[in-house]
Amino acid sequence: MSEMTLQYAPTEESVATSYLDEGHTVLSWLLTTDHKRIAILYALSITAFFFIGGVAIGLVRLELISPTGWFMTSDEYNRAFTIHGIIMVWFFLVPSIPATMGNFVLPMMIGAPDVAFPRLNLLSWYLYLIGASFTVYVLLSGGVDTGWTFYPPFSSTYSHSSVVPAAIGVFVVGFSSIATGVNFMATVHLLRAPGMTWFRLPLFAWSMYVVSMVMVLATPVLAMSLLLICAERLFGLPIFDASVGGDPVLFQHLFWFYSHPAVYIMILPAMGVVSEVFACFARRRVFGYAFMVYALLTIGVVGFMVWGHHMFVAGQSPLANLIFSFLSFIVAVPSAIKVFNWTATLYRGQIGFEAPMLYALGFLGLFTIGGLTGLFLASVPIDIAATDSYFVVAHFHTIMVGGTVSAFMAGIHYWWPKVTGRRYHEFAAQLAAIAMFLGFNLTFIPQFIMGWLGMPRRYHFYPDVFQIWHVLSSGGAAMLAVAYLMPLGYLGWSLFNGDRAGDNPWGATGLEWQTPSPPPKRNFLRPPQVTSAPYQYHDIGRAREEVEQAPVEGRGDAR
């Protein structure tokens, strides 16, 4: 296993053929093993599911404008928020950054011609599609009403909706994230270019490495707990049924043993993306690189030991509550280190406000708010009051939407010239970034407030006093919808009409920028050689301002 070599481009190849020109048929895409093309297949699929999940929550927000409901039955309402949760968590957020940007950029960042197992990579996309088709079946068969958490005994005994197909969809898509995780771990271990030592890895590569470990270690537990639900529902195996000696709380232990680390599966890649973006657009070396790495690793490990904070009112023992509360406070420390280090990276930087930076700054503020409100909820007495309220809803959306989706957008814009070879319309992108930030806050600040005042989640009938907050929140959601649709327009336009970007329009130092954009099939024309630590931005400074519009030839790692 220790000896692995993949071929770079043949040495006689002197003119770069872009990976996009290596075949134009549909089959050349569906049977590709090129990590860059698989990244694009993933990007298209998760975008489709993002908008399906978005329509579901659009209906929910519309329904909530009236305190008595106005176009949905309670049953329909349950199904709408459940499908939103299932799709957004497993078919968008979990694969979002790793399967798209991780796939595209990780091998290039470490100087590899592909991932370690290119065919496994393609298989993972097909597994995603199979899981996704179960979910589409669930949609067509009338949906599922358990909430995305599948808690028994409702899911195992009482629900009359498509629980088993939904669980199988999630089960299958889990294997696609395991495949991605195994692949990335092997890639980072085996395919680093000469000179790319562990402590020269860009932080995005580190985040992909850590998230891969979390995926591989956590996802099997989800698979198992969903199978047990199916076994109980289909065959009456008494596992979670208290009337025959089972324990419904056991499911919550198993489910959250995966699903809390899943929060880190969603946020660690986002941390990786913004680390790249802050360094590039502040023209600064990332402050405290080694601490950033240790913080990622600590979050990856300690993140596995805090799941019980989801069960403070579920009948868990007071001692366990105490332990999980304490550990949850601990895991905030490395996250705080990262926030301080990003801020210190900006300090005295030459900051540019291009769209990737705007999105990354949005991430920084919102991740901080999401993290701090998480500390409220890690405290047992506060959580007992706030459990299942909109405060919780607002908290985790601030992490997953304010955090992860902002970073996802930052990454899309940052690497867009790399992927397509084109520039996008900068001003349109800046507008979208600002609209997304404002829309986000308009949606979720009212939810924090009404949650604190006692508005429970998952109800569409509510006391009149909360209506003003719901209306504001729905207005924010409409603004968010516009902000999410805008990139489809200007990025789509850029694909065909955008200016040529040159190889390295941002003057970035990452290895992925030291090769043509869009890259050739095997990524590099010559095997790269790494001679320095990442983020050598001091040497370059804000070069692109001095040379006006002319793209800057990147220097930095590959010399």
The footprint of other proteins (CB under 8 A) covers: 1-2, 185, 189, 213, 217, 221, 249-250, 253, 257, 304-305, 307-308, 311, 315-320, 323-324
Query: Quick one: which segment of 69-77, 114-122, 131-139, 258-266 binds Cu ion (CB under 5 A)?
Result: 258-266
> Position of tokens 């804000």?
542
The amino acid occupying position 256 is: W
Name the binder of 221 from Cu ion, other proteins, none, CB < 5-8 A by kind.
other proteins
Name which of 237, 95, 268, 303 is nearest 180 in CA terms. 95
- Whose Cβ is closer to other proteins: residue 305's or residue 336's? 305
Q: Report helix, strand or coil for 306.
A: coil
Name which of 396, 327, 409, 408 is nearest 367 in CA terms. 396
Name which of 431, 406, 420, 551 is nearest 492 in CA terms. 420
Name the binder of 304 from other proteins, Cu ion, none, CB < 5-8 A by kind.
other proteins
- Whose Cβ is closer to other proteins: residue 130's or residue 301's? 301
Q: Does 260 bind Cu ion (CB under 5 A)?
A: yes
Instruction: Identify any residues that bridge with 500 across adjacent strands, giving them in sequence order.
Output: 422
In the complex, minimum distance from the CB of residue 327 to Cu ion, in angstroms, rounded to a whole number? 11
In the complex, minimum distance from the CB of residue 315 to other proteins, in angstroms, rounded to a whole number? 8
Report how far residue 354's alpha carbon sits from residue 423's, in angstroms, rounded to the nearest whole number: 12
Burial-class residue 478 by CB neighbours within 10 Å (0-12, 13-18, 19+): middle
Report how far residue 107's alpha carbon sits from residue 115's, in angstroms, rounded to the nearest whole number: 6
- Whose Cβ is closer to other proteins: residue 189's or residue 423's? 189
Q: Does 283 bind Cu ion (CB under 5 A)?
A: no
In the complex, minimum distance from the CB of residue 6 to other proteins, in angstroms, rounded to a whole number? 15
- Whose Cβ is closer to other proteins: residue 189's or residue 555's? 189
Report how far residue 42's alpha carbon sits from residue 110's, in angstroms, rounded to the nearest whole number: 21
In the complex, minimum distance from the CB of residue 269 to other proteins, in angstroms, rounded to a whole number? 20
In the complex, minimum distance from the CB of residue 386 to other proteins, in angstroms, rounded to a whole number? 21
- Whose Cβ is closer to Cu ion: residue 272's or residue 308's? 308
**Binding string, residues 202-241; x marks residues near Cu ion by CB under 5 A:** ----------------------------------------
Q: How many Cβ atoms are within 10 Å of 301's Cβ, its own excluded?
A: 16
CB burial string 25-38: b at 16+ within 10 A, e below: eeeeeeebebbbbb
Report how far residue 3's alpha carbon sits from residue 21's, in angstroms, rounded to the nearest whole number: 31
- Whose Cβ is closer to other proteins: residue 187's or residue 373's? 187
CB burial string 276-293: b at 16+ within 10 A, e below: bbbbbbbbbbbbbbebbb
Name the binder of 260 from other proteins, Cu ion, none, CB < 5-8 A by kind.
Cu ion
In the complex, minimum distance from the CB of residue 258 to other proteins, in angstroms, rounded to a whole number? 10
Q: Does 253 bind Cu ion (CB under 5 A)?
A: no
- Whose Cβ is closer to Cu ion: residue 79's or residue 253's? 253
For 360: left if phi > 0, alpha if psi spans -120 to 50, otherwise beta; the answer is alpha
Binding residues for Cu ion, rule CB under 5 A, total 1
- Whose Cβ is closer to other proteins: residue 10's or residue 245's? 245
Is residue 169 within 8 A of residue 131, CB to CB? The reply is yes
Query: Quick one: which segment of 152-160, 174-182, 254-262, 426-434 binds Cu ion (CB under 5 A)?
Result: 254-262
Residues at the interface with Cu ion (CB under 5 A): 260
